[in-house]
Structure 1
Amino acid sequence: MIRKNQRFLSQMYMAMDFVIIQLSHFLAWWLKFKSGLLVYQEALPLEVYSFWSVVYGFVALMMGLFFSLYAQTRKTRYVDEALKLLQVHASSLFLVLSLMFLVKQMDISRMYLGMFMALNIMSIMLCRYILKRSLKSLRRKGFNKQFVLILGAGTLGCKFYDHLQQYPELGYEVIGFLDDRREWEASESHRYKPIIGKVEQLETILQAEIVDDVVLALPLTAHSRYARIIAICEKEGVRTLIIPDFFDFLPARPYFDNFAGMPLINVRDIPLDLTGNRLLKRAFDIVFSLFAIIITSPVMLLTAIGIKLTSKGPIIFKQERVGLNRRHFHMYKFRSMKVLPEGVPDTGWTTENDPRRTRFGAFLRKTSLDELPQFFNVLAGHMSVVGPRPERPYYVEQFREEVPKYMVKHHVRPGITGYAQANGLRGDTSIEERIEHDIFYIENWSILLDIKIIVKTVFNGFMNKNAY
C-alpha cells in the first residue's frame, strides 16, 4: 500500500501552484496582447510581465505557508481549503501591487491583471479539486491508507468507529481496539474490529503494528493515564488524537481558544466575536438601512396614512424586546392591532384570525410592511438587518426553561429577518426549529450568508402563510 508522505504532498502542492501561476500568466498575456481577440495597446515587454509573475508566484507560496495552506491534511474540507486559497491570493495580490507601486512599475495592463487572477485562482481550485477527488478514489479502493488504533471500546470508541466507517474516502482503517475490561459480544464482534489487547500493552503493539494515529476514546476516569499514553505515542512517532468524554455537549465545530495563557475549548464558535467581522456587519447594516429607508419612504408614508384612517391610536407601536447580550430595547413597528386597554399586559401570542388585528393591520402583517420601521432600530444599533428575531421578555423567560439552547440567540444582535424566517419559520411555527436555524446562522455567519437571507426574504418572506 502507498504510505502517505505529507511533506511530499505539500511540496507537490507548492510546485503545482507555482507552475499554474506561470501558465496563467502566459495565457493571460497571450489573450490580451497576441490572440487578436482584444484591442491591442502598446504594452511592457513580456519579460517585465514574466518577472512580476515569478515574483507573484514566490509571494503566493510564502503567503500560503503563512496561512498554513500547505499544511492541509486529508481531514481538511475542500470548501475550507478554497476559502484559505482566496485569502492567500488576495493578500499576495495586495503585496505585489504595493511593491510595484514602490518601484514605480504601475504600467501593467488592468485587463491582463484581471484575466491573470481569474485564470490563476480558477485553475488552482480546479486542480486541487481533481487531486482531492483522485486521492479519495484511491483511498476508497484501499490505497493511500492510514492506520488507526482506538483506545477504549466503550460507547465513545464505538461511536467514533461508526462515524469513521461513513467516510471511506478519508482513507482511515482501524486495526483494532485496546480496552482493559471489555470483550465483544457475538453481535458486536461482527460489527467492530477486534479488541487486540489492553491499554497497558500500547507500547508493545505500536512496535509490532503499523499505526499512524492513536485515538483516545477513554472515559474521564482514565484522565490520569493520558500523560503516559501520549508519551508512549510520541516515543514511537505516532500522532495522538483525544476525543473528550463530554463531546456530546460540544457543537459541531468547537475550537481551541487561549485565555490568560491557558488553552481552552470554546464551545461556541461565533464569527461575530471577531472585531473585523462586527465592523463589517455594522457597516453593511448602516448602508443597507439608509438605502432601505430612502427606497421605502413612499410606502411608509402611505402605510402611516392608512393606519391613521382605519383605526384609532398611534401609527408606530413600540414593544419591549430582548436583544444583544440579553439587553432590553424598544422595537418599532407600524401598529397592526387595536390599542390595548390601560393596564392590560402585552403577553398574547399572535394567531391566525387574531381578533386583536385591524383590517389594515392584517394586510400589513401578511406583507411584512409592519416591520419597515425596524430599519430605524438598525440605525440606532439595537438590531441588525439579519439576525435571530427578538422576543418579548415574558416569552424569553418562558422559553429559556423550555427550549434547549434558546438563550444562545442573544450572542448576536437580533434582526429584521433571519435564517429561520427566510426558510418559512414565522408566526405560529416550532420554536425549536427556529432556534436550530438561529444557532446555525450564529455559528456560520458571513456577509454572503446575510445577502442570501435578504434575497430569500425578498422572494419568499414578504407573503408568508405563517405570518399572522
Structure 2
Amino acid sequence: MRHRYSILLFPLHIIVDFLSLNVAFVGAYGIKFGTISPVFEPPYVTLWWVFNLIWLAEILVSKPYIFPRQLFKADHLIKKMLILMAIHVAIIAIYWVAVKGYYYSRGHIAITYGLFATLGIAFRIGGLLFLKEYRSRGYNNRRYIIVGYGKLATTIRGFYDAHPEMGFHFKGYFDDPTPDTVDQLKGNYDQLVDYVRVNQIDCVYCCMPYIDNSRLKEIVDDAEAVDYQVKLLVDFRGFLARGASVEYHDFLPVLNLSSQMLADFQVNTLKRGFDITFSLGVIVLGAPFFLLVALITRVTSKGPVFYAQERIGRGGKPFLIYKFRSMYVNAEQGGPVLSAGYRDSRITPWGWFMRQTRLDELPQFYNVLRGDMSVVGPRPERQFFIDQIIEVAPEYKTLLKVKPGITSIGQIKFGYAANIEEMVQRLRYDLLYPERRSFLFDMWIIAQTVRVMMQGRGK
C-alpha cells in the first residue's frame, strides 16, 4: 500500500471540523443552560446556521486543508485553525451587531469557541500521531529519487531521513557516473524513466547545480506520461539568509538579493535616530548623576575619572571606548588581561559596585553620539581577544557586521567574561542579535538592562 488514501485527508478534515463546530455549539448551550432543546428553535437555530455557513465560506475562500506534507505539522495546522477561528469570531461579531442579537448569550458563544478549539486541536494532534505511526510502518509513503549527485542532493536526503513522519522513502541517486560517484548512483539518465515507471516513483528531485537544462526538460516532459512530480532544488541558502525575495517579470521569476539591504537601511535609520535621542536625553538629564559618580570615582582611588581603551567596532574599525575607571591605575601594565570578577584585586571597591550596577558603562553614551556605538548591540572587544575567539568560534565575525552597543543579550544573560571560554559562551547569546534586531527587541533589551542595574546583578 502506498498513498491511495491520502485523498481522504481533505474531506476528513472538513467533516471533522464541521462535526466539532456543531458539537461545540450544542454542547456549549447545554453547559451554559443545562438543556439543549431550545438550541433547535429560533433564535438559536438561526445563529447555528450562520455559524456553519460562515465556516463553509471560509473553507471555500481560503482552502485551508490543502498543503504539502512538509507543512503537515502540529504548529502549522493549529495556527491555520486559530486564524480561521479568529476570522469566524470577527464575522459573528459583525453579524451580532447587524441583527442586534443581544439576546444571544455571550457566555454560550465563548464556550462554543473554547470547545471548538479544544476538539479541533485534539483532532489535529491525534491525526498527526496516527499518521506518524502509520507511516513508520511503511504505509502512506512517497517514493522519491534525486537527480544530480552532490552536496545539495545529500542535504535533501538527510532532511527526509531526519523526518520519517513525512513518509518519504529514498530510492536512489541518478546522474552521469564518474569514478568518484559511480558507487553512490542507482543509475544514469538513460535508465531514469524506466526505473521511475517500474518502481512507481512519486517524486523526482532535480538538483540544479548538477543537471543541465536539456536533461531537466526531458525529465519534465516525461512526468505527465509516467505520472510523477518534478521538484527543482536550487541552493539559495546563502542568499535567503540575507532576506532575498522573488519578483516576477511577466512569467520569469527573478531573485532579488537586495531586499535585506533596504530592510537594514530602514532599521539602521530608525536605530540611529533613537540612539541620538536616547543618548542626549541620558547625558542631559543625568548630568548631575554623572558628576556624582565621577566625584566618587575620583575620591575613592587615585587616578583619572575616565578610562579609554581601544575596541573594534563595525567592519573591524577600531575606536576608543570610554568608561568610568573601575580599576586601579596601571592595572594592565603587564598586558591585556580579562577581569576575574569579584576575585580580581585590580578592581577598586567602588569600581566593583559600578560594575555590578553597570554605572561604569555610562560614559559610553558619548561613544553612541559619536557614532562608534549603539545603545543596543553586541559588546565590542579588543583585537587581542577577538583573534583568540575567532580561533575557537569563527562565527564571531558575524558580530562585526553590526554596530557594537552599550548593552546586549550577552551582557544581560551572562555579563562580564573572565576568560576566552566565557567570552565564547557569551557569544552564543550575542549571535542572536544580528538576525533578530528590531526596535521592539532593542526596547526589551534596554528594559532588561535597567532591571539588572536596579537589582545590582551585573556580573
The alignment's TM-score, normalised by the length of structure 1, stands at 0.65
AA aligned opposite 2:29: W
1:116 is displaced (CA, Å) by 2.8
Structure 1 distance, partners of 2:450, 2:432, is 17
Q: 173-182 or 305-314, which moves further after superposition? A: 305-314
Are residues 1:311 and 2:298 paired?
A: yes
Q: 217-226 or 131-140, which moves further after superposition? A: 217-226
1:412 is displaced (CA, Å) by 7.8
User: Which residue number in structure 2 is paired with residue 118 of structure 1?
Assistant: 114
Contact 1:420 1:437 in 2 (8 A): yes
User: Which residue number in structure 1 is paired with residue 195 of structure 2?
Assistant: 205
Are residues 1:33 and 2:33 paired?
A: yes
Structure 2 distance, partners of 1:257, 1:308, is 55
Structure 1 distance, partners of 2:168, 2:57, is 35
Provide the aligned C-alpha RMSD in A: 5.7
Contact 2:326 2:355 in 1 (8 A): no
User: Which residue number in structure 2 is paired with residue 22 of structure 1?
Assistant: 22
AA aligned opposite 2:170: V
**Helix, strand or coil for the counterpart of 1:75?**
helix
Structure 1 distance, partners of 2:264, 2:94, is 30
1:186-335 equivalent positions in 2, closer than 5 A = 195-217=185-207, 219-220=209-210, 222=212, 225-233=215-223, 236-244=226-234, 249=238, 257-259=245-247, 261=249, 262-264=253-255, 308-311=295-298, 335=324
1:448-459 equivalent positions in 2, closer than 5 A = none
AA aligned opposite 1:243: L
Q: 51-60 or 368-377, which moves further after superposition? A: 368-377
* Equivalent of 1:389 in 369, 375, 378: 378
In structure 2, relative to structure 1, the CA distance for the partners of 1:128 and 1:221 (3 Å cut) is: closer
In structure 2, relative to structure 1, the CA distance for the partners of 1:143 and 1:266 (3 Å cut) is: farther
In structure 2, relative to structure 1, the CA distance for the partners of 1:221 and 1:58 (3 Å cut) is: closer
1:152 is displaced (CA, Å) by 3.1
Contact 1:336 1:360 in 2 (8 A): no
1:55-66 equivalent positions in 2, closer than 5 A = 55-62=53-60, 64-65=62-63
Structure whose CA Rg is larger: 2
**Helix, strand or coil for the counterpart of 2:70?**
coil
Kindly tell me the number of residue pairs found equivalent between the two proteins.
Answer: 421
Structure 2 distance, partners of 1:18, 1:389, is 51
1:137 is displaced (CA, Å) by 0.5
Structure 2 distance, partners of 1:229, 1:321, is 53
The alignment's TM-score, normalised by the length of structure 2, stands at 0.66
User: Which residue number in structure 1 is paired with residue 39 of structure 2?
Assistant: none
AA aligned opposite 2:13: Y
Deviation per CA, 1:136-157: give whole Å up to 9, x if none: 1101011111101121344443
User: Which residue number in structure 2 is paired with residue 139 of structure 1?
Assistant: 135
1:130 is displaced (CA, Å) by 0.9
**Helix, strand or coil for the counterpart of 2:205?**
strand
User: Which residue number in structure 1 is paired with residue 49 of structure 2?
Assistant: 51
User: Which residue number in structure 2 is paired with residue 344 of structure 1?
Assistant: none
Structure 1 distance, partners of 2:319, 2:97, is 49
AA aligned opposite 2:153: G
Contact 2:10 2:66 in 1 (8 A): yes
* More helix, by proportion: 2
